[in-house]
Chains A and B, each alone.
Chain A
Amino acid sequence: MFFHIVLERNMQLHPRYFGRNLRENLVSKLMKDVEGTCSGRHGFVVAVTGIENIGKGLIRDGTGFVTFPVKYQCVVFRPFKGEILEAVVTMVNKMGFFAEAGPVQIFVSNHLIPDDMEFQSGDMPNYTTSDGSVKIQKDSEVRLKIIGTRVDATEIFCIGTIKDDFLGVINDPATV
């Protein structure tokens, strides 16, 4: 699920950026620093959308670096248990398959794949129904449901299932 929230961060800025466009430098550095990171609490920071407030800078003794407390708005993505996501399959093996929904990695183990789909090893390992009409392989797009999350301080990992109504392949690259 996506959220638009305000976060705060202390930015350290090198003295060489002091000048007319200190503020622009600060913002671009902020974007470079936080976009794409993940915190267990808020999820993945997708994009910084604006700056709320930049506090007074504090010059650090000895280094000359200046610390600015910056409040910024950003979009975060946080997966939840029970959430339905669309994801791209990245790897298939006999234990199941891995998929990605943006920054989130999701593992679907083979007992959470419908019983009528069989693992086929080979050059392009995949799960296929007995009549061959549905195939899950690398780069397939699947709709899945998150049934478990593992949230560390800097990492979120999910396991999902496609064993439910309206879940499974939504766009098969082989047929396109």
Chain B
Amino acid sequence: MIEPYNKLVKLAARAFYDDLTSKGDNQPKTGRSDNRGIAVVVLDALTRRQWVREEDLAKDLKLHTKQLRRTLRFFEEEKIITRDHRRETAKGAKIYSAAVAATADGQQTAKEGEEKVKLHTHSYCCLDYAQIYDVIRYRLHRMKHKLKDELENKNTLQEYICPNCAKRYNALDALRLVSFEDEDFHCESCNGRLEVESDKIASQEGGDGDDNARRRRREKLKDMLQKMEVQLKPLMDQLSRVKDLPVPEFGSLQAWEARASAAVRAANGDINAGDSKISQLGYNGVPMPYSGDTKVVVDFNNAEGKGEGVKSETDGTGLKVLPPWMITSGMNLTKEQRGEVKQEAKMDGTSTSTAAQYTDDKKSTIGLEDNKNIQDEYIKAYYAALLKQQQELEEAAKTQLSNTPPADDPSSSTSNRQVGMKSKREEDDDGTEWEEAPFTGNGNEGYKVDLNVEAEEVPADQEEDDDVDWEEG
């Protein structure tokens, strides 16, 4: 669907921006500094990308960032690209990286190191296809209109110029310019004789009023119009081809990142591996009310951590454990279909290895590659098991009536919820509701809100829970 649009962009780039030079006119043009064609290269490169950080683009194109930026600014003015600037930490940049990886091949390991709190301004750019389509159409329309207007000499405002002082007038000033000595127009300031300004495309050589010149001009204009029709035919064809197609829309930078990371999550099968801490703190570390969607995904450390949580519940030391309550039943169904046979055998291997891994983050990423497959398998299996557990749980809850919290008995699942994560509200099919309690320690407070008898049991599991409590109602 994006292909015809990309072709359109490429055609337009070659038609309109081919001989664009981004250098100022004051600099002498040497062979070296001649950068015509850069615009085309940049636009072509953008057709192969979605949102891209400008530094990365510069690196890919082996261009200086300044030069690239100048070109991009030009395109922004031409309404061909949209740009986004934001101040962000290294973490914010990582969100983007994850999203990029998502569009690339879907395998990405974002490691959770100590982030520098320093903010950098990063610029991102992206083609704005909807607008490009309009811009090109408008441009063609204006070109045709100008030529046709001139061809018919219609509705054009005649301009006059004073050869002495170069002052310009137009026909609307005519009344003030008439002098009574002769029949010419005279300049207001120097009383010089005004001449008809001839900056119109085709009128350069023609003497004014001369019949021959007029005819020649007409022919030249006609010729130009025809040439334009012929040379821009591919572009117009492409425009009409694209006309009925849906416009590829990437949305704003944030929306795009969210979608990209959601995609990779789905691809990896670990829907819930998102690090919700990152997602809920905005790019500047300001908590956002609900931003579960803008999540970096794919954190295998986390995934393993969750595995760990199941195996050894005591060991919940602030890892990013995958909270099972984030699993919605629809997602789990897909898990179910996957094999859960081999899981047990692998569980041990992975959990030990992961245990090693999150003791040291740096190491873990290296070791990660090896048992990634194993982990994948494991995660799938784990989810399947988890689903079963949850279903049982729900059953129990149903039988018990809504008064007793279903979460009371299966300690394994509750332990998982410990993780220092802000819980999001999600609605289960059976109307189970999770609520967010903004801070921990006093988990009991959260329970008071709407829960009941069993409240004490759960906090017992949550000694380690630094940030958040979860509840089930």
Name the segment of B79-87, B171-179, B243-251 touching the other chain: B171-179
- For residue B185, which residues in chain A have a CB less than 8 angstroms away from its CB? 95
- For residue A7, which residues in chain B have a CB less than 8 angstroms away from its CB? none
A105: interface (CB < 8 Å):
yes
Assuming A118-B211, A119-B209, A125-B183, is B158 touching A109 (CB within 8 A)?
yes
B174 touches A109 (CB 8 A): yes
Name the segment of B137-145, B148-156, B225-233, B321-329 touching the other chain: B148-156
Most chain A CB within 10 A, of B154, B174, B196, B211, is at B174
A98 touches B211 (CB 8 A): no
- Taking CB atoms and an 8 Å cut-off, the chain B residues in 256-272 that contact chain A are none
> Residues 108-144 of chain A: 1 if any B CB is under 8 Å from the residue's CB, otherwise 0?
0111100100110100010000000000000000000
- For residue A107, which residues in chain B have a CB less than 8 angstroms away from its CB? 171-172, 174-175
Question: Contact residue range for chain A?
Answer: 20 to 34
- Taking CB atoms and an 8 Å cut-off, the chain B residues in 145-170 that contact chain A are 152-158, 160
Q: Which chain B residue has the least Cβ–Cβ distance from A145?
A: B155
Most chain B CB within 10 A, of A119, A121, A159, is at A159
Tell me the smallest distance from the CB of B198 to a CB of chain A, in Å.
10
Q: Which chain B residue has the least Cβ–Cβ distance from A107?
A: B174
Query: Contact partner of B157 among A94, A96, A118, A159, CB < 8 A?
Result: A159
Q: Once the chains are docked, how many angstroms separate the CA of A157 from the CA of B176?
A: 10
Q: Once the chains are docked, how many angstroms separate the CA of A121 from the CA of B156?
A: 25
> Residues 146-158 of chain A: 1 if any B CB is under 8 Å from the residue's CB, otherwise 0?
0110100000010
Assuming A91-B178, A95-B185, A119-B209, is B155 touching A157 (CB within 8 A)?
no
A94 touches B171 (CB 8 A): no
B277: interface (CB < 8 Å):
no
Tell me the smallest distance from the CB of B107 to a CB of chain A, in Å.
63
- For residue A164, which residues in chain B have a CB less than 8 angstroms away from its CB? 154
B175 touches A111 (CB 8 A): no
- For residue A115, which residues in chain B have a CB less than 8 angstroms away from its CB? 153, 211, 214
Q: Which chain A residue has the least Cβ–Cβ distance from B172?
A: A150
Most chain B CB within 10 A, of A98, A119, A150, is at A150
A163 touches B171 (CB 8 A): no
A73: interface (CB < 8 Å):
no
B155 touches A93 (CB 8 A): no
B184: interface (CB < 8 Å):
yes
Question: Contact residue range for chain B?
Answer: 20 to 34
A159 touches B184 (CB 8 A): no
A98 touches B209 (CB 8 A): no
The A interface, classified by DSSP as helix, strand, loop or mixed, is strand
- For residue A93, which residues in chain B have a CB less than 8 angstroms away from its CB? 178, 183-184
Most chain A CB within 10 A, of B171, B175, B208, is at B171
Q: Once the chains are docked, how many angstroms separate the CA of A54 from the CA of B172?
A: 39
- For residue B174, which residues in chain A have a CB less than 8 angstroms away from its CB? 95-96, 98, 107, 109, 157, 159
Q: Which chain A residue has the least Cβ–Cβ distance from B200?
A: A111
Q: Which chain A residue has the least Cβ–Cβ distance from B194?
A: A95
Q: Which chain B residue has the least Cβ–Cβ distance from A150?
A: B172
- For residue A95, which residues in chain B have a CB less than 8 angstroms away from its CB? 160, 174, 183-185, 196
- For residue A159, which residues in chain B have a CB less than 8 angstroms away from its CB? 157, 171-172, 174
Q: Once the chains are docked, how many angstroms separate the CA of A161 from the CA of B174?
A: 14
A111 touches B156 (CB 8 A): yes
- For residue B158, which residues in chain A have a CB less than 8 angstroms away from its CB? 96, 109-112
- Taking CB atoms and an 8 Å cut-off, the chain A residues in 49-99 that contact chain B are 91-96, 98
Tell me the smallest distance from the CB of A79 to a CB of chain B, in Å.
13
Query: Contact partner of B153 among A94, A112, A150, CB < 8 A?
Result: A112
- For residue B209, which residues in chain A have a CB less than 8 angstroms away from its CB? 94, 110, 118-119
- For residue A161, which residues in chain B have a CB less than 8 angstroms away from its CB? 154-155
B183 touches A94 (CB 8 A): yes
Tell me the smallest distance from the CB of A83 to a CB of chain B, in Å.
14
Tell me the smallest distance from the CB of B160 to a CB of chain A, in Å.
8
Q: Which chain B residue has the least Cβ–Cβ distance from A109?
A: B158
- For residue B154, which residues in chain A have a CB less than 8 angstroms away from its CB? 161, 163-164
- For residue A150, which residues in chain B have a CB less than 8 angstroms away from its CB? 172-173
* 11 extra A-B contacts, CB within 8 A, seeds A107-B172, A109-B171, A147-B155: A94-B184, A109-B174, A112-B158, A150-B172, A150-B173, A157-B172, A157-B174, A159-B157, A159-B172, A159-B174, A163-B153
Q: Can you report 7 residue pairs joining A to B where beta carbons are below 8 Å apart?
A: A95-B196, A96-B158, A96-B171, A98-B175, A121-B183, A147-B155, A148-B172
